[in-house]
Amino acid sequence: MSTCQRMLIGALLALAGATTATPALACGEVMYRMGGALRYQAFVSRHPAHVMLYSHGASARATAAARSDLQRRLEQSGHTVTITEDEASLRQALATQPYDIVITHADNLSLVRSVLDQAPHAAALIPIAAGADSAALRQHYPQVLPADASANRFLKGIERTMQARGS
């Protein structure tokens, strides 16, 4: 029996006696006992993707810590993540490696779309938008993430995109 399995069994036994919502962490998994039911949520993707996060200019510098945290969470879930911050590195990365998904702010969509059109591999594009912009973008993109989205929301958007792609 692996260490992870022992931790999971221990967590289940601990939860069996619990009367409130108590989290038990085991190998990237979370279980909650809520009332009479046990809720299980895995943070491991069923569809691991090669993801690029692209941001440019002042917004790239302002959100460096948030991007780093997001990168860590996505990688813990099984995704491979690359961060690019300028047009040259974006072009080089898309020309040399196949990406499943490119995530970028709505302000960068025209640049990223033009680079993707020239890339040898097709990648899905997930824009990040705020307010009214997201409603307009939903007409063109199946997944649009809000500007204040949590890492879990990113994971869900990536998962849905990969399912739609048949990956």
By CB atoms closer than 10 A (0-12, 13-18, 19+), residue 157 is: buried
The pLDDT tens digits for 11-68 are: 555 555 544 444 444 444 555 555 555 554 556 778 899 999 998 765 555 567 788 8
pLDDT at 118: 92
- Of 59-63, 98-102, 132-136, where does the model show the most confidence? 98-102
What's the pLDDT score for residue 3?
A: 53
Picking from 137, 54, 152, the residue whose alpha carbon sits closest to that of residue 103 is 54
Q: Which of 14-28, 102-116, 140-154 has the lowest mean pLDDT?
A: 14-28
* Fold of the domain built from segment(s) 50-165: Rossmann fold (3.40.50)
Domain with CATH 3.40.50.2300 in the chain: 50-165
Q: What is the 3-state secondary structure (H, E, C) of 71-131?
A: HHHHHHCCCEEEEECCHHHHHHHHHHCCCCEEEEEHHHHHHHHHHHHHCCCCCEEEEEECC
Residue 130 binned pLDDT confidence (cut-offs 50, 70, 90):
confident
